[in-house]
Structure 1
């Protein structure tokens, strides 16, 4: 026990906790920059960022499946979030089959099937453990505005118009799909360990997608936001969606890492 407390990780954790907020902010920013530089040097094919992001998302779903099958409980999970995830994955899979048909299609398929299984378990097998009173965010709050945005702003490629609108819809829904889960956590002021692992995996997945855009913008000196924009602002909107996704989860990931540094998995959340 004494050796664990004196381990380099715990010593570093205690040192960080003693620092001022300015120092902590500097360390956090430096860590993000270091991670971006490392990813740029290690990953040459930028498409692999999205492959890794989708793979991490699937691993997060695997954590949920393990929770549901071993604990026989879906407490702490947002059904609305899982349904939004299934919506954008189903639409994206349909687009991917006709537009790409590559490894992204396979990853989207297995993730969608896994998500549908989680929804089935929550709706029927484990319904008694689902806290519906905390999961109250209506789906149309997300779906309707995203549909309107997709109709107005979508990529101008050679694909059919319906595919381009559907693809934009996926981007917009995915950007805010985690809101019901975070809203549920906020109401409960508590999150179970497996759910915490799952949400953190989503944060890592979002960071990988965000890293792709940051590196691409850096490599092209900003031109990546201007190329193929039609109508004029499609790419900047996609970039903005990535920023929204990342920062929605950044706060949770901060408290998750902070809790791990204290030797525990995030449970109670600050108001």
Structure 2
């Protein structure tokens, strides 16, 4: 006897059968709907940023578990980790000179664990690193983010350079997952731990983006 499909399973099956353009449209609509929902149910938008950092830490923990249990870094992008370390280092600097708070401690913990992951990939597990698959040129994202930050940055009372650095780390965070997606595309195989890590990054980036969008909307209303 065939098991009856649940509504969630039926919807997910329908979505998987749609062409890429329809999936992209549905993703945008879903993101906008979730953003509107967060606008009404989350009163302190700063909690979204804390949640984004916490989810990112969970993603890093998944990577550490993978590296320690399976003793392999196959399917992982070293360049994504390096981009992550760069934007976390810049954000830590900004946190120290602009607003030292709980975010600084969370970012410091994530930064240190990211450095450990980089060390493991570069040295301890170098033999399993798919360098030929990790062929995304990071300057393709670092340079545009720096140029964009130079022209589009927050208008606050902080020093001009600090505002540029802050914008740079926000932009770089949004695209730091691109090398990892490129590795997944090149290998054609996605391991469960890698998939969970990318999912955690996606959730973290969405929450971080929601924080900045809602915060900016609030500032516009106050002005």
TM-score by length of 2: 0.84
SS of 1:143's equivalent in the other structure is helix
1:95 alignment counterpart: 94
Which residue is equivalent to 1:196? 195
Unaligned runs of 5+ in 2: none
Number of aligned residue pairs: give it.
219
Change (3 A) 1:178 1:30: closer
Structure 1 segments unaligned to the other structure (5+ residues): 228-271
Alignment correspondent of 2:6: 11
Per the alignment, in what secondary structure is the counterpart of residue 77 of structure 1?
coil
| 1:224-263 paired onto structure 2 within 5 Å | none
Question: Hey, what's the Cα distance between the residues in 2 that align with 1:181 and 1:139?
Answer: 11
**Cα deviation 1:45-92 (Å, max 9, x = unaligned):** 011111111110111000000000000010100000000000010011
CA RMSD, 1 decimal: 3.0
1:167 aligns with 2:166: yes
Which has the larger displacement, 17-26 or 113-122?
Answer: 17-26
Q: Deviations over 1:176-228 (max 9, x none)?
A: 111111111111111110010000001111221233355457767xx46x96x
Q: Relative to structure 2, which stretch is displaced further, 114-123 or 151-160?
A: 151-160
Change in Cα spacing, 1:21 to 1:170, as seen in structure 2 (3 Å) is same
For the residue of structure 1 that corresponds to 2:43, the secondary structure is coil
Structure 1 residue 140 displacement after superposition:
2.0
CA contact (8 A) 2:174 2:205 kept: no
TM-score (norm 1): 0.71
TM-superposed CA distance for 1:117, in Å, is: 0.4
How far apart, CA to CA, are the structure 2 residues paired with 1:90 and 1:101? 14
2:103 alignment partner in structure 1: 104
Distance 2:62 2:109 in 1: 14
Is the contact between residue 173 and residue 205 of structure 2 (CA under 8 Å) also seen in structure 1? no
**Does residue 65 of the first structure (1) align with residue 64 of the second (2)?**
yes
CA change 1:128–1:42 in 2 (3 A) is same
3-state DSSP of counterpart to 1:172: helix
Change (3 A) 1:32 1:190: same
Q: Which has the higher contact order (CA 8 A, sep 6+)?
A: 2
CA distance in 2, matches of 1:14, 1:91: 42
Find out whether 1:148 has 2:147 as its counterpart.
Answer: yes
